[in-house]
Amino acid sequence: MKHLTIIKTKVRFLRFPVAKLGKLLACTILSASLLLPSCSEVNEGTLIGDAETEKYEVPNERSALSDDPATGDEFTLVLIGDTQNYVDFENNTGDSDCQTYQPLLDQMQWIADNKTIENIKYVITLGDMTDNYNPNPATTEGTNQWTRIRTAYNILRDANVPFGAVPGNHDQLFESASIHSYPVHPGYTSNFGRSQFISPAWPNANFHKWEYPAGTNENHIDVVNTPAGELAILYFRWEHERSASVAARDAAYAEITKPEYANRKIIIATHFAITPTYQDAKNDAEWGLLGHDNYYQSGELYDKFKDLPNFFLLVGGHVGGEVQRHETHNGVVVQSYNSDYSGCSRPEGMLRTLRFSKVKDKITLKTFVASTGEVTNQFDRPWTRWFTTSRTNDYFNYSKSQPTFYVGATWKITNPTLDVNYGLSTDIAVPGDYDGDGTTDPAIFRDGVWKRKNVEPDVTLGSLAEDIPVPGDYDGNGTSDCAIYRPSEKKFYVRQTYSSANTTYTNSGFGNIPVAADYDGDGKVNFATFNTGTAQWVIPGISSSVYGQSGDIPVPGDYNGTGRNTRAIFRKKTGTMTHNEWYVYGNATPILIGTTSNLIPVPGDYNGDGKTDIAVYNPTDGKVTINGQATLLTGILNAKPLNLPYHIRKFFF
């Protein structure tokens, strides 16, 4: 194994393998006061100078091969957070000098080594590449940091792995002017500016499409091809001056709304996205506040781009640790993640990957140490479809519903088959996504106590016999909340999952059946009821009108794939009717489905297209008939189908 020797003294020297780290390393300044000879004068293994203290030798190929190869349509993006402490060799007060240079090289080498295994399509750099905020930019050390970070990224260039860069606050000349909009360090421009992402500097880099101001790489758009189509990554520099941020934001918006971007999914990368220091009312991390002009740069970016249906992800660093936030607008969820592993409280050389699958509608986020493969955090999130609309009873994170039944104390999940023993035969099954991973969790309601599999603690809510459990994401944070409806009071009671906050909502016009769902596409379940006698739907702020007739069964769902639930009713076959009828608001003609009167409506997204499907369960033969799709054979007879929620099913079956 080839090695990188680092000698830590007042002057630093490196011995390096030219073939592995790239020829540039042998031709650049690598210490605060020593210029290496030309490339022709340096041979592998040469030590230059006289140094006697803290000599240590570490392998320069330390990277763990992935044991989780991408398959099918899967591909990976990599996030690299703040790296300034890896390249800062000065012992200044306030530096995190516990981080050393080698783990940065490990990260880059891991990406290069696993490019094919993980199907890595692109690397997103989140700013603070160097620590020029701290040392005087005129010093040699300030210049050398750009050499070190360029050397590290040359590993990606040599492996032809596309990456993008953006200036953080530590990459700017804070001492150069008294204005708020500080210029970036010239080292950023010379090493990661526009000229470095086009030929002849990088002949194969055809992903850089646009920049602002022209000729720079401070705010820019890169376009990357993936198995799920093209991604457009929008970069925005750390910008103290709000007016400058607004100018860049508006210029990028004018570009990204051109026709050629219409089918490209959008990611925004900026240095400071969200902060773990504060949380908003949803218990999400708050947008990052930039102090000079006292404004939320990332929040304003979200507000500007949120009307674009292809915008789905916002990432940043700056503040140590990992936190998340998500916003829903017009039924479209935008996820935000903070990834910053600088400082002494974490292992060196940590990376974060995002594994995408369009078929599974899943993003897997994983944080690990590049040199060892040690995983420190891993979880899944839906990519485009969330629980609040069509995505219900999805126990495998397959982005589609499974016909599910509660038999005795067993959850019988079909297509594919899985039996889960959870609860008692007398319990009420209340499935939901209680941990926000996109997968439905088994849960039960027992005499006012909510028990959720793998989610603690239990919740006490709903002590009266009349209380009806109505779980749903009432605060829009991506997790189901425990909630009950009390008909005698015409009142909803909600216990929010993470904050444990209590919410109530009363409306004198409410009916007897709760039909809470997200009717306006904001990611939050709306309080709503249906009256069995009058067929009146009461959805405060949205509708208070009759749809259906006495005896109809309410079956709201996202039948159009808009991210909004729509009023709908199932009318059982009676009298001279030849079929059961399913009416969806906005459609004058009903869908005819099934000719027997014993069928139970079981709406769900059974094919994973993001739309609620019209479907019925026959308790006699166990078949689930789906309009326009193949019939599913469940083998479960005379059972309680959970695809028709308890708060509706209890009134009719």
Greater confidence, 242 or 135?
Answer: 242
- Residue 477 has a pLDDT of 77
Listed in order, strand segments (DSSP E) in 346-401 are 350-357, 362-369, 375-382
Task: Looking at 65-182, list the stretches that DSSP marks H as alpha helix, in order from N- to C-terminal side.
Answer: 84-87, 101-113, 140-158
- Residue 56 has a pLDDT of 30
Q: How many CB atoms lie within 10 A of CB 253?
A: 15
d(CA 455, CA 453): 5
Q: Are 180 and 292 in contact (CB under 8 A)?
A: yes
- Residue 143 has a pLDDT of 79
Per-residue pLDDT band for 116 (boundaries 50, 70, 90) equals: very high
- Residue 500 has a pLDDT of 79
**Average pLDDT value over all residues in the chain:** 85
Show me where the domains of the chain are located.
74-382, 404-652
Per-residue pLDDT band for 62 (boundaries 50, 70, 90) equals: low
Question: 404-652 belongs to which CATH class?
Answer: mainly beta
Burial pattern 569-592, b for ≥16 Cβ within 10 A else e, equals: bbbbbeeeeeebbbbbbeeeebbe
Q: Tell the burial category of 203 from Cβ atoms under 10 Å away from its Cβ (0-12, 13-18, 19+).
A: exposed
Greater confidence, 388 or 587?
Answer: 587
Q: How many CB atoms lie within 10 A of CB 204?
A: 9
Q: What is the pLDDT of residues 511-520, one digit of tens each?
A: 999 999 999 9
CA dihedral sign, ordered 145, 147, 151, 156: positive
Look at 33-47, 117-131, 489-503 and tell me which has the smallest mean pLDDT: 33-47
Give percent above pLDDT 70 in the chain: 85
The full DSSP string for 468-495 is EE--B-SSSSSS-BEEEEETTTTEEEEE
Per-residue pLDDT band for 626 (boundaries 50, 70, 90) equals: very high
In this prediction, residues 167-195 reach a mean pLDDT of 80
Give residues with Cβ within 8 angstroms of 127, minimum separation 6.
82, 166, 167, 168, 169, 170, 171, 237, 238, 270, 271, 316, 317, 318
pLDDT at residue 26 tops 50 = no
d(CA 63, CA 371): 4
- Residue 5 has a pLDDT of 37
d(CA 245, CA 171): 16
pLDDT at residue 525 tops 90 = yes
The full DSSP string for 185-226 is PHHHHHHHSGGGGSTTTSTT---EEEEESTT-SSEEEEEEEE
d(CA 426, CA 550): 30
Q: At what angle do helices 140-158 and 101-113 cross, to 10 degrees?
A: 20
In this prediction, residues 200-204 reach a mean pLDDT of 79
- Residue 372 has a pLDDT of 93
In this prediction, residues 146-158 reach a mean pLDDT of 94
**Which is it for strands 265-270 and 311-316: parallel, antiparallel or unpaired?**
parallel
The full DSSP string for 559-573 is TTSSSS-B-EEEE--
pLDDT at residue 305 tops 70 = yes
Burial pattern 139-154, b for ≥16 Cβ within 10 A else e, equals: eebbbbbbbbbbbbbb
Burial pattern 629-642, b for ≥16 Cβ within 10 A else e, equals: eeebebebeebbbb
CA distances from 539 to 53, 198, 483, 567 (A): 74, 55, 17, 10
Give residues with Cβ within 8 angstroms of 155, minimum separation 6.
21, 22, 105, 108, 109, 111, 112
- Residue 54 has a pLDDT of 28
Q: Are 594 and 625 in contact (CB under 8 A)?
A: yes
Backbone angles phi, psi at 246, to 5 degrees: -60, -40
Q: What is the pLDDT of residues 349-374, one digit of tens each?
A: 999 999 999 877 789 999 999 999 99
Greater confidence, 310 or 181?
Answer: 310
Give percent above pLDDT 90 in the chain: 64
CA angle 479, 481, 485 (to 5 degrees): 150
Q: What is the pLDDT of residues 397-421, one digit of tens each?
A: 777 899 999 999 999 999 999 999 9
3-state DSSP call for residue 646? Answer: helix
pLDDT at residue 638 tops 70 = yes
pLDDT at residue 624 tops 80 = yes
- Residue 401 has a pLDDT of 93
Which architecture does CATH list for 74-382? 4-Layer Sandwich (3.60)
Look at 160-164, 300-304, 390-394 and tell me which has the smallest mean pLDDT: 390-394
Residue 541: closest CA among 507, 565, 495, 567 = 507
CA distances from 153 to 36, 121, 139, 157, 643 (A): 20, 15, 22, 7, 50
In this prediction, residues 197-223 reach a mean pLDDT of 88
3-state DSSP call for residue 132? Answer: coil
Residue 105: closest CA among 55, 67, 58 = 58
Entry pTM: 0.70
Q: What is the pLDDT of residues 280-293, one digit of tens each?
A: 655 678 899 987 78
pLDDT at residue 627 tops 70 = yes
pLDDT at residue 479 tops 60 = yes
d(CA 217, CA 171): 13
